[in-house]
Homo-oligomer: A and B are copies of this chain.
Amino acid sequence: MQDMFKGAPMSSLPAEVDIAVIPMSIVDGVPAVLLANGAGAELALPTGGLMAGETLESAALRILQAQAPVGAAYLEQLYSFATPAAGRTAITIAYVALVPGDGFAAPLRGGEQLVLVEVGVPWAGEAGGRVDVCTPGGEPLALVAGDADILGQAMLRLRGKLDYSGVGFALLPGRFTLRQLQDVHEAILGVRLNKPAFRRRMLDKGWLEATGERETGASFRPAELYRFLAPKGA
């Protein structure tokens, strides 16, 4: 059985390669993604084909900016999968795009065919699984088959990397308060966190630098603004 392949010339099957991008942000304290509202009235992730001369990341960036122009975003490759068919196989490589702050406002204002959906995570901790999506009003929505699993993988990845990698800062503007940072963590982890402990833990990591500035517009004591120091990816 193994001899069937041994020494055989392994010519690669030509395949179509698509990139799917998950534009994700925290809106009103809840994880949210932008989905494309295709003609078939079915919601799907922004997707496009890999073109000649592109790396995967540049293709993901191009597709993101073409279909959901969110401005700056932190891109991270998520997972690849193949949908085998008789003739040719299609490969889809999923990327997560973490969009800071209110980066979803601009693309939603434009005439784009975009829909903002909230992501509900029905599992606790790092159990994993698929997720539910609904409108900001709370009405449940249906997704293209498979996309719910991709979103679940994205949430799982974020939860796992959150407290050792600094991905959380990609969801915040350049200057932010500790409360905003805590809101991001609570939204991704799906749990309420203790404020003093969270503050100490974050400050002890050495990732934050106090700017000396304070937030404005609050009708109470303004919080200090911090800045992220370490590189965003690793």
Contact = CB atoms under 8 A, between A and B. Distances in A.
Interface residues on A, range: 35 or more
B66 A82 contact: no
Nearest to A164: B126
Interface of A: 2, 5-6, 10-18, 47-56, 59, 62-63, 65-66, 69, 77, 79-82, 84-91, 93, 126-128, 160-161, 164-165, 234
29 contacts: A2-B66, A10-B47, A10-B49, A12-B16, A12-B17, A12-B18, A12-B90, A13-B49, A13-B50, A13-B52, A14-B15, A14-B88, A15-B17, A15-B50, A17-B17, A50-B82, A50-B89, A52-B84, A53-B84, A53-B86, A54-B89, A55-B82, A55-B84, A56-B80, A59-B82, A80-B93, A126-B165, A127-B234, A128-B234
